[in-house]
Structure 1
Amino acid sequence: MATKDLTIILVHGAWGDGSHWRGVIPTLTDAGYKVRSVQNPLTSLEDDIAKTTDIINAQEGKVLLVGHSYGGTVISGAGNHDKVAGLVFIAAFAPDKGDSLVGLLGRRPSSGGTSIYPDDKGFLWIKYDEFHQAFCQDYDEKESLIMSLSQRPIHGQCFGDMAGDPAWAVKPSWYQISDADHMIPPETQREMAERMQSKKTNSSGCRTCFIGFTSLRSCHFDITSRETV
């Protein structure tokens, strides 16, 4: 399949939105890919899968789903769509059927987890003055300030919702492990990647390393050479 025939759909995680992919979108479009960046409501896993599925339905031909953090849970569900040729997980949750994020995070503590607090409507936030260290410690203070003040909270229900049949069990998948992640412990990421039997790569950066991607090859996958795509 030619590069131009593949649509790459980027799925953000908690406390972010579609603009968090601003560092990789120009690179992908310059390479000839059609790109879409989902704006998920972060209100429930069902809602977010439905929103991502709407974007998949609107595309012609095959798509590749790329999920960051909580976005990995979303693409694991939405990826069962017939148009989805593969999935890429960037420091992301990759739940199996019956898993919840609460259960996956319960395997070991995360240093950034102590910075999360709920509001009176059940949405979870990261403390503004701790956002830099908890979420994006290797970004400069100006960038982290913008991310902190523009964060989009995620509803606590998303952490308790149980996942259904995972698309990664039946479709080609790749996983980038972020060794300096303060939210999802790298050991937990590695366990999920190994369970998926995915192609793995490591990044020495924090969990928001996806913002600075310069090439798809930095994740060790060459989409145009895959027979499945």
Structure 2
Amino acid sequence: MTMMRLLASALFVLSVSGPASADGPASAGASNVVLVHGGSTDGSGWKDVFHILRAKGLAVTVVALPHTSLEDDIAATRLAIDVQSGPTVLVGHSYGGAVITEAGVAPNVKALVYVAALQPDKGESLAEISSRFPMGIDSKMLDDERFVPSPASYHEMIGADLPRDITDFMAASAKPMRVDTFQMRFQNAAWHDKPSFGIVTTEDKVLSPDFLRWMYQRTDTKVTEVKSSHMVYMSHPQETADVILEAANSVK
């Protein structure tokens, strides 16, 4: 990761974390939450969850993944984790679940939350794990290396329970991802040693409910099911925040 991208990530982290709200500290054992968005999106979708958690007294950081490589996405998340003071809950949506699986080995991360998220094991690639239950998403190739979700099917496939004007904007502003991201094998799987909580989105057309249940079952993840599209943290922010708060409260 270049120095410029590290600096940009650091500035973003500092701009959104800050002190906890004036409502007083949460009763949770973890004082910090780090939120990681999914592939081709950005951190702005966490806004409602951010405010709910802040109101409970938690310090919240939203990571901006550069999507220049899997390693760079993991590095940006590790940077956010490193600046936390105290026990931290690490949260990932979709592709962000793969990122937190690797970055979550940091000692101050005490619990993981998978929000309709990929959950690879050590030695696996995303291409390998998703071949068991093919991901239901249409892609538009931008060149030989990078792609975005197809704008034509974005609303129906990714966020059918969100207003169309929101998904239209998300499609228009989608951040390109690299194809080789899905070929790289993971060196660590933090869920082996950290308690995990997961949301199964029962109306999900990107990661099927059966795929999510299969991953969560093999990792002994505590499951909450929500009737939602893939973008559950945007369409159901309270239910998503409740799972994160449960994880925070579980920390001893």
**AA in 2 matched with 1:213:** P
Deviations 1:124-143 (A, max 9, x none): 11121211112111111111
**Residue 18 (structure 1) aligned to one of 43, 54, 59:** 43
Query: Structure 1 residues 106 and 81, CA, compared in 2 at 3 Å: closer, same or farther?
Result: same
Q: How does 1:49-68 map to 2 (within 5 A)?
A: 49-68=74-93
Match of 1:86?
111
Match of 2:133?
108
Instruction: Supply the distance in 2 between the matched residues of 1:95 and 1:56 (Cα, whole angstroms).
Output: 20
Does the CA contact (< 8 Å) of 1:17 and 1:39 recur in 2?
yes
Which shifted more, 218-227 or 150-159? 218-227
Match of 1:166?
189
Query: Structure 1 residues 197 and 5, CA, compared in 2 at 3 Å: closer, same or farther?
Result: closer
Normalised by the size of structure 2, how large is the TM-score?
0.84
Match of 1:183?
206
Query: Structure 1 residues 88 and 4, CA, compared in 2 at 3 Å: closer, same or farther?
Result: closer
Deviation at residue 83 of structure 1 after TM alignment:
0.8
Match of 1:225?
249
DSSP-derived class of the 2:44 partner: helix
Instruction: Supply the distance in 2 between the matched residues of 1:216 and 1:130 (Cα, whole angstroms).
Output: 25
DSSP-derived class of the 2:140 partner: strand
**Residue 158 (structure 2) aligned to one of 122, 126, 135:** 135
Deviation at residue 32 of structure 1 after TM alignment:
0.6
Does the CA contact (< 8 Å) of 2:92 and 2:100 recur in 1?
yes
Instruction: Supply the distance in 1 between the matched residues of 2:109 and 2:251 (Cα, whole angstroms).
Output: 13
Deviation at residue 225 of structure 1 after TM alignment:
3.5
Query: Structure 1 residues 6 and 139, CA, compared in 2 at 3 Å: closer, same or farther?
Result: same
Unaligned runs of 5+ in 2: 1-25
Deviation at residue 223 of structure 1 after TM alignment:
4.0
Indicate yes or no: 2:116 matched with 1:95.
Answer: no
Match of 2:223?
200
Identical pairs, percent? 31
Match of 1:122?
145
Deviation at residue 224 of structure 1 after TM alignment:
5.0
Deviations 1:13-41 (A, max 9, x none): 10111111112111011111100000011
Does the CA contact (< 8 Å) of 1:76 and 1:95 recur in 2?
yes
DSSP-derived class of the 2:238 partner: coil
Match of 1:40?
65
**AA in 2 matched with 1:12:** H
Normalised by the size of structure 1, how large is the TM-score?
0.92
**AA in 2 matched with 1:87:** L
Deviation at residue 117 of structure 1 after TM alignment:
2.3
Unaligned runs of 5+ in 1: none
C-alpha root-mean-square deviation of aligned residues, in Å? 1.9
Deviation at residue 58 of structure 1 after TM alignment:
1.1
**Residue 31 (structure 1) aligned to one of 47, 50, 56:** 56
